[in-house]
Chain A
Amino acid sequence: MIREQNKKIRTIIVDDEDLARQVLREFLSAHPEIEIVAECANGFEAVKCAAELEPDLLFLDIQMPKLDGFEVLELIGADRAIIFVTAYDTFAIRAFEVHAVDYLLKPISAARFEAALDRARERLSGKLPSAPLVAMELAAAARPPSQYLDRIPVREGTSVFIIPVAKLDYAEAQDDYVALAAGGKKHLKQQTISSLEAALDPSRFLRIHRSYIVNLERVVKIEPYGKDTHVAVLTTGAQLPVSRAGHARLRAFLDR
């Protein structure tokens, strides 16, 4: 993506603290090529604004109400330049794993800010390789081990749903998406089923088929279905195909 010289960099500042936004605003005011299109005070707003305003650059706090910075990134996609801004140095590795342009620590120095902005410009002008689409996968994978997902944020248009994993009945792969079945509804999310599987607690969720992950608490019974295959019947009444390998895994789990 080659950016025209006269086109402004559309920027959103996301931080729940007014004063923290103010510092960024002040630093950005010295750069006429930057246009602040929105300021958001929480994760939901950030996702909504990102969907509506198509920003090029986001300054993203990590710990915020509603959604944290990583969840916001997961929902808005990685084809924008992201600069994380936080008081915590412990998220840095995770931030670069999800291809953040930079990671600024509060209190922010002007010099460090300029360097981050330079990196963002380079990323936007295509000199720095932009984040691949798999960044969202990375966002899920970059979770510290032993800490499995306890909620899944899903975006539909400009609104965000949070699905607590305890409410997830099953997940079904649909091309580049997974359909998450919870509470009688299905929510589509751009993610591969393998990365979702990796992020879920394996003692609660099991891959029973190439295309299905099931919440083990929902499984009522397993019935034979044709030669070599089975179906799992859930408390919701749903019937999911179980592959041969999936059946072995399910049996091993139920026998325990």
Chain B
Amino acid sequence: MHPILAQLRRLLLYLLGWIPLAGMLTYLLAVPGGLSWLEATTVALILCLLYAFVCLAAWYPCQATPLERSSLPRFLATHIAAAVVASAIWLLAARTLGRMLTGLEEFRGVDVRLSKDFPLLFGTGVLLYLLAVGFHYVLLAVEASREAEARVMQASVLAREAELRALKAQVNPHFLFNSLNSISALTASDPSKAREMCILLGDFLRRTLGLGEKPSIPLEEEMSLVHAFLAVEKIRYGARLRMEEIIDKEALDAQVPPLLLQPLVENAVGHGIANLVEGGWIRLTAQRCDGDLSIVVENLFDPEAPPRRRNGVGLANVRQRLEARYGDRASFGTNIEGQCFRVAIRLPAETKERAS
């Protein structure tokens, strides 16, 4: 679709641009052309209105002859040929117009007078068409840059979506390997417990897979995912892992991005509990306050523990996701107080009705 014909507003602006050109043509027809002012004005207005639409056709040769990829001979040949054709059509129209007008009292003999101006009209037609070519190239360039901008925007949105999808599908493989090793141990010593762990692990994996498609879930669902994760870890770590939850009932229906808390709890286990000989606690607090959802995950850790791999990757992911989704409306902070590591996040508390 032609960009100018696509919107009425653009078409009107374009035609407005032709008014000074019509003025110039009037002058040309009246002064050197020898027409009366009334004749010149009438003919110029009608011809310009007509030619405005003829010149719109320049869009197609312009599109077919992109500036940066066309040779100069081809470029010149295309546009000059088109200009001659357009101008010839214009002349034909002028002749027809002259014959029609000459029938009227005020315009008697205008066709003869106008035919003397045909060389002038032809030259003007070629020039006006070439002007339109230039105008259309500008239009093409603007359009191309706008498209490029849109493509970049779209690419970044797609990239972010892909990243989120990957994140959601991401289960720490070492959690899997270690859990499988625990199951392997239990098969000999306690087969029913081994079976239980298989089921717990399957339950956790199925939940994480199902979440990939959803943009957000109620906190309650995220908590049950956390519970499924902890149920597996509890078998690995036994009494070393102690979980405490202080969850405001009001907060349970707040929508959160899926896998928001699980990485935080996994981090608390991996970098906290796993490094403590006697184990320790993880405390999860969630409450609504002032229209926000406030979540705090605290855990005991050993400040002198050997440095671990993947340190902070899970946390960084959560922070980036909050940032990408809520911008300034969400916050993420960590702090260390003695042997307690704390992650505090705050995000707008949306419920399902408002979220959708």
Contacts and interface: CB of A to CB of B under 8 A. Distances in A.
A, B bound:
yes
Interface of A: 16-20, 22-23, 26, 41-43, 63-68, 71, 87-88, 90, 105-108, 150-151, 162, 164
Contacts of A65: 274-277, 302, 305
Interface string B157-196: 0000000000000000010011011111110110000000
Given A63-B274, A65-B276, A19 B181 contact: yes
Contacts of A90: 309
Interface stretch (B28-36, B51-59, B232-240): B232-240
B304 interface: yes
B180 A26 contact: no
Contacts of B306: 43, 63-64, 66-68, 71, 151
Contacts of B276: 65
Nearest to B305: A65
Contact of A26 (B174, B188, B308): B188
Contacts of B184: 23, 107-108
A105 B177 contact: yes
B338 interface: no
A78 to B, nearest CB: 19
Nearest to B238: A18
Nearest to B174: A87
Interface string B298-338: 00001011111100000000000000000000000000000
A107 B308 contact: no
A9 to B, nearest CB: 22
Given A26-B185, A151-B304, 5 more contacts: A16-B274, A17-B237, A66-B275, A66-B305, A108-B181
A64 B237 CA distance: 12
A19 B186 contact: yes
Q: Which 10 pairs across A and B sit closest by C-beta, in order of nearness?
A: A87-B177, A106-B181, A19-B185, A68-B306, A107-B181, A107-B180, A23-B185, A19-B182, A22-B185, A87-B174
A16 B307 CA distance: 16
A170 B45 CA distance: 94
A107 B198 CA distance: 14
B235 to A, nearest CB: 7
Contacts of B177: 87, 105-107
Contacts of B189: 22, 26
A106 B178 contact: yes
A88 B184 CA distance: 17
A46 B85 CA distance: 94
Interface residues of B, number: 27
28 contacts: A16-B274, A17-B237, A18-B238, A19-B182, A19-B185, A19-B186, A20-B181, A20-B182, A23-B181, A23-B184, A26-B189, A63-B308, A64-B275, A65-B276, A65-B302, A65-B305, A67-B306, A71-B306, A87-B177, A87-B178, A87-B181, A88-B174, A88-B309, A106-B177, A107-B177, A107-B181, A151-B304, A151-B306
A154 to B, nearest CB: 13
B277 A41 contact: yes
Given A43-B306, A66-B305, A20 B275 contact: no
A18 B239 CA distance: 11
Contacts of B183: 107
A17 to B, nearest CB: 6
Contact of A17 (B178, B305, B309): B178
Contacts of A17: 178, 182, 236-237
Nearest to A44: B277
A67 B275 CA distance: 9
A162 B304 contact: yes
Contacts of A88: 174, 309
A26 B305 CA distance: 30
Interface in B18-54: none
Nearest to B193: A19
Contact of B307 (A26, A66, A150): A150
A18 B237 CA distance: 8
A19 B304 CA distance: 25
A66 B236 CA distance: 19
Contacts of A162: 304
Nearest to A85: B181
A90 B308 CA distance: 12
A199 to B, nearest CB: 14
Contacts of B188: 22, 26
A17 B179 CA distance: 11
A127 B81 CA distance: 91
Contacts of B275: 64-66
A155 to B, nearest CB: 15
Nearest to B278: A65
Contacts of B308: 63
B280 to A, nearest CB: 10
A150 to B, nearest CB: 7
B270 to A, nearest CB: 9
Contacts of A87: 174, 177-178, 181
A55 B177 CA distance: 28
Contacts of A108: 181, 184
Contact of A106 (B180, B238, B305): B180
